[in-house]
Structure 1
Amino acid sequence: VSLGGTLSGEHGIGLVQRPYMDIAFNKAQLGVMRGIKRVFDPQGIMNPGKVLP
């Protein structure tokens, strides 16, 4: 990540890489992701606590 790489390829961030999300994304980016998830899952019932806590 520090050299410009990413945590994942075409399969996305998985549970194994989840602890490193704060390294790959800043707080604003994570906030946008959480906001998008809330739009599509307002009750938090789809994969609760998996990738976005």
Structure 2
Amino acid sequence: MPLIVIGTVTFLLSSLGVFIGNRLGHLFEKKIEIVGGLILIGIGIRILVEHLA
């Protein structure tokens, strides 16, 4: 039973994310790409610093 609930909730939230992304993606496309890139760079730097320390 928990497997069905987890799968259903995951599917619904993923579908909602795709729907919202398609609707709002055109409005904020370039800015969101830049923010996403900066977040990934930040994560990469954090991992690098943790491994070098």
TM-score (ref. length: structure 1): 0.33
Higher helix proportion: 2
Query: Which has the greater radius of gyration?
Result: 2
Structure scoring higher RCO (CA < 8 A, sep ≥ 6) equals 1
TM-score (ref. length: structure 2): 0.33
